[in-house]
Amino acid sequence: MVRVVSSKTVNLPHERVFSAIKDIGKLPTLFPDKYKSFKIIDQSNNHILTEEIVSISGKEINQKVKHTLEPDRMLKSEVIEGDTKGTILIIELDPKSNSSTEIKIDADLKYGKIGAVLGIFAKHKIKNEIDNLIDRFSKE
């Protein structure tokens, strides 16, 4: 397990940032270097289930992910099948003013037996990837 937390205040209104975060289907467009395959297999008001092949720290990972939206505040993505089963990524938004929002990402990554050792060494790289994620969302 590797846990990485990062936050940044961006000069964008809360509504605009949340609009970018909740559009799960747009993830492959926002992050073409990360998503090798992406398919929405079920969707309701606040839940989206996806099948994905993602590239994390240079490794391609097949996974099924349950995304849960808490309107105007949070997106929780939980890997429910695949090599990283049990991984949870939470994106929380905190409006600081009418024109700025704090984006906080809390990632609890599960890598399995071999990945546990590699994950410790990859922590800095993962932190950089999460900071990059925040930067991309802030440009939406």
For residue 30, the enclosing domain spans 2-138
Angle ∠(102,106,111) on CA atoms, nearest 5: 155
Report the CATH number that the domain containing residue 16 is assigned in CATH: 3.30.530.20
pLDDT at 69: 94
Residue with tokens 């890598």: 111
Averaged pLDDT of the chain: 83
Q: Which residues pair with 52 in a beta bridge?
A: 38, 63
Number of domains in the chain: 1
For residue 69 the two structure tokens come to 């939206």
Out of 55-59, 69-73, 120-124, the most confident range is: 69-73
pLDDT at 22: 86
